[in-house]
């Protein structure tokens, strides 16, 4: 449905107020989600959303987009995301902009996407200055891609570093990978440190990257035993999330079985998990299946 100007204006000027109890419950839900305890996270978010908490609405939308509530559902996700965005939640505004940009649950509409990215940038900038790590991370992404703000690599890096320093695992993972792209040895050492911080929070991509680094001796001294341990942790993290419907985790788990990282090589199981992810719309899984099924 078209976005009404009045609602867009409200999204630009209204900032949700979180009570202390809400903040505690949101953190509990986030912790449960990070550990792939999706049912527990959903129960907490449902309770908060029913009481009018916009951030909880955004989280429910995120979980449905990721397949974490059993199956990826763009249409159902958009209902939660729109509620959050129109209530002035910066995460919801960013997600709604992304939906219009990609055509997830709505027709692609670059102009409407840009309006919501602009709203998100303004809302998140306020939260970022108050040390909201997730706001800092998404603001970094907006500056990196020029969404709702002018593209600015320096600003993006500044906010990414702040988010990583404030403990946001996805920021730590992205910063680690950004530093890995630099050939300076000191940056590679810093990259490994950031990846370890993300991995310690259960970030499966960081865990897998550390396995690669220790296997190949990149930024660290090669250590097959340490590589195996990181791959094992990544496999376990992906397995738990994939079993509950998380699309990216299903792709990651398929790759573990395909390459034999953290588990034995099993091309049949790799195909099975690629098929599950492909059925939920994963382009990467579809491409992998073309290789497995020439």
Structural domains of the chain, ranges and CATH numbers in brackets: 38-166 (1.25.40), 198-292 (1.25.40)
- Classify each residue of 129-144 as buried b or exposed e, where b means 16 or more C-beta atoms within 10 Å of its C-beta: eeebbbbbbbbbbbbb
Mean pLDDT of the chain: 91
Cα separation of 14 and 35, whole Å? Answer: 32
Quote the tokens at residue 28.
Answer: 């509990």
pLDDT at 118 over 70: yes
User: Got the DSSP string for 116-156?
Assistant: HHHHHHHHHHHHHTTT-HHHHHHHHHHHHHTSSS---HHHH
Provide the pLDDT confidence category of residue 293 given band limits of 50, 70 and 90: confident
d(CA 105, CA 73): 8
**1 closest CA partner among 121, 61, 66, 86:** 86
For the chain, the straight-line distance linking the first and the last C-alpha, in angstroms and rounded, comes to: 41
- Grade residue 1 by pLDDT with cuts at 50, 70 and 90: very low
pLDDT in tens, 46-56: 999 999 999 99
Percent of the chain with pLDDT over 90: 84
Q: In a 10 Å sphere around its CB, with 0-12 CB exposed, 13-18 middle and 19+ buried, how is residue 13 labelled? A: exposed
pLDDT at 104: 87
Residue 261 corresponds to which tokens in the numbers above?
A: 């990282």
Q: pLDDT band at 117, cuts 50/70/90?
A: very high
Q: Is the pLDDT of residue 8 over 70?
A: no
Length of the chain equals 294
Contact between residue 240 and residue 268 where contact means Cβ atoms under 8 Å apart: no
CB 119 within 8 A of CB 131: no
At 294 the pLDDT is 62
Closest to 207 measured CA to CA, from 247, 236, 245: 236
Q: Check residue 35 and give its pLDDT.
A: 87
pLDDT (tens digit per residue) in 206-263 = 999 999 999 999 999 999 999 999 999 999 999 999 999 999 999 999 999 999 999 9
Give per-residue pLDDT as tens, 55-85.
999 999 999 999 999 889 999 999 999 999 9
């Amino acid at each position: 449905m078209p976005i009404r100007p009045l609602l867009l204006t409200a999204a630009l000027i209204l900032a949700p107020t979180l009570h202390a109890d809400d903040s505690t419950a949101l953190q509990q839900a986030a912790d449960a989600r990070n550990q792939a305890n999706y049912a527990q996270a959903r129960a907490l978010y449902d309770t908060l959303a029913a009481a009018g908490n916009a951030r909880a609405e955004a989280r429910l939308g995120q979980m449905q987009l990721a397949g974490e509530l059993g199956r990826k559902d763009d249409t159902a996700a958009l209902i939660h995301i729109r509620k959050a965005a129109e209530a002035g939640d910066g995460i919801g505004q960013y997600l709604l902009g992304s939906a219009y940009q990609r055509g997830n649950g709505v027709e692609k509409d670059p102009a409407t996407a840009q309006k919501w990215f602009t709203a998100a940038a303004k809302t998140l900038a306020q939260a970022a200055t108050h040390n909201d790590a997730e706001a800092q991370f998404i603001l970094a992404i907006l500056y990196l891609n020029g969404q709702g703000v002018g593209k600015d690599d320096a600003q993006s890096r500044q906010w990414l570093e702040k988010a990583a320093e404030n403990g946001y695992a996805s920021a730590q993972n992205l910063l680690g990978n950004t530093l890995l792209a630099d050939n300076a040895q000191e940056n590679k050492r810093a990259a490994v440190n950031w990846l370890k911080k993300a991995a310690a929070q259960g970030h499966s991509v960081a865990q897998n990257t550390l396995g690669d680094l220790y296997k190949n001796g990149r930024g660290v001294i090669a250590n097959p035993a340490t590589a195996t341990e990181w791959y094992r942790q990544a496999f376990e993290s992906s397995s738990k999330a994939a079993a509950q419907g998380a699309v990216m985790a299903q792709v990651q788990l398929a790759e573990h079985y395909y390459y034999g990282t953290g588990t034995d090589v099993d091309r049949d199981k790799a195909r099975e998990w690629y098929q599950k992810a492909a059925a939920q719309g994963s382009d990467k899984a579809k491409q992998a299946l073309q290789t497995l099924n020439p």
